[in-house]
Amino acid sequence: MPLLKLPSQGAEVDIPRESVILDSCVLASAFFPGDQWHDHAEDFLAQERAYVVPYVVVAEAWGVLVRAKKERHEYGLRMLRWATRSPNVVLVPGWRELLQTSRDFCDALKIDFVDAFLMGLASRISDVFRGGRRAIIATYDTRDFFISQKSFRFEYLDLRDGVGH
């Protein structure tokens, strides 16, 4: 599987060409047994593919999973173990320029900050891929991705129906 090197604040992150960027709702669904998409999300993450998981997604998924309740702490820890130990996960740090751009898009388009970050990251990856393939964001919550498609270079995969857009 060919890798591409995405510059990230002085370092490079190796991203497999056929990888999928995960939205935090996918992680929250996979690691919270009470979620309506739990089984589907678990199956999706069990596939043999590379998953790009930005730090901001890990942080947002932790907040959704745990919500400051001790009885839910284990869900967050399971997600962290998966994100930090799975050989299929590429963790991507945030870097100042992308964080600032995401903030600006969040303000201008009135969209969620993490979604803006994912779209900015996907656009960067799409630029590096060159040759037609756009980076794919997997999600159960398509609203911000749908309304922002014209502002970024990405595709999203609606895991509720398995259809890419």
Tell me the torsion sign for CA atoms 30, 157, 107, 99.
positive
Angle in degrees, 0-180, between the axes of helices 24-31 and 38-45, rounded to the nearest 10? 110
Q: pLDDT tens-digit profile of 152-164?
A: 778 889 999 864 4
Delimit the domains of the chain by residue range.
Answer: 18-164
How much is the pLDDT for 94?
77
Bridge partners for 139 per DSSP: 158
Q: pLDDT tens-digit profile of 130-148?
A: 666 788 999 999 888 887 7
Q: pLDDT tens-digit profile of 66-89?
A: 987 888 899 999 999 999 999 999
How much is the pLDDT for 69?
82
Task: Pull the structure tokens for residue 82.
Answer: 């998966």
**pLDDT tops 50 at residue 112:** yes
Q: pLDDT tens-digit profile of 10-29?
A: 567 788 878 999 999 999 99
**pLDDT tops 70 at residue 3:** no
**Which candidate, 49, 28, 23, 35, places its Cα nearest to that of 114?**
23
Give the residue-averaged pLDDT of 51-57.
95
**pLDDT tops 90 at residue 6:** no
Sorted by sequence, the CB contacts under 8 Å of residue 31 that are 6+ apart come out as 61, 65, 75, 76, 78, 79, 82
Q: Which has the higher per-residue pLDDT, 95 or 7? A: 95
> By percentage, how much of the chain surpasses pLDDT 70?
89
Separation between Cα atoms, residue 66 and residue 141, nearest integer Å: 19
Separation between Cα atoms, residue 132 and residue 67, nearest integer Å: 40
How much is the pLDDT for 143?
83
Q: Name the architecture of domain 18-164.
A: 3-Layer(aba) Sandwich (3.40)
**pLDDT tops 80 at residue 45:** yes
How much is the pLDDT for 123?
87
